[in-house]
Amino acid sequence: MVAEQQPLASFFCPISMVLMTDPVSCCDGNTYERSSIETWLQLHPSSPLTGACLPSKQLVPNFALRSAIQEWKEQHA
């Protein structure tokens, strides 16, 4: 019996701990699930991981990670 391969830790949102479907990069240098970080930023002016004050709340889509997650999901469906 072969053990099922688990997704990489980087595929999970560090806020919600769910497998990301819409990963975005934040100005703190980390990647989050869009809905999780948008909710966080509505309530906090700081990074959820470092606590540092964020100079911007701009989010940038992480297309490379989204593609890697989608590929993993297709291979393990």
pLDDT tens digits, one per residue of 4-37: 688 999 999 999 999 999 999 999 999 999 999 9
What is the pLDDT at residue 2? Answer: 45
Report the domain count for the chain: 1
- CATH number of the domain at 45, please: 3.30.40.10
What is the pLDDT at residue 5? Answer: 83
Range of the domain at 32: 10-75
Asked whether residue 4 is assigned to any structural domain, the reply reads no
Start-to-end CA span in the chain (Å): 17
pTM exceeding 0.75:
yes
Q: What share of the chain is helix, strand, coil (3-state, %, to 5)?
A: 35, 20, 50
What is the pLDDT at residue 70? Answer: 96
What is the pLDDT at residue 1? Answer: 43
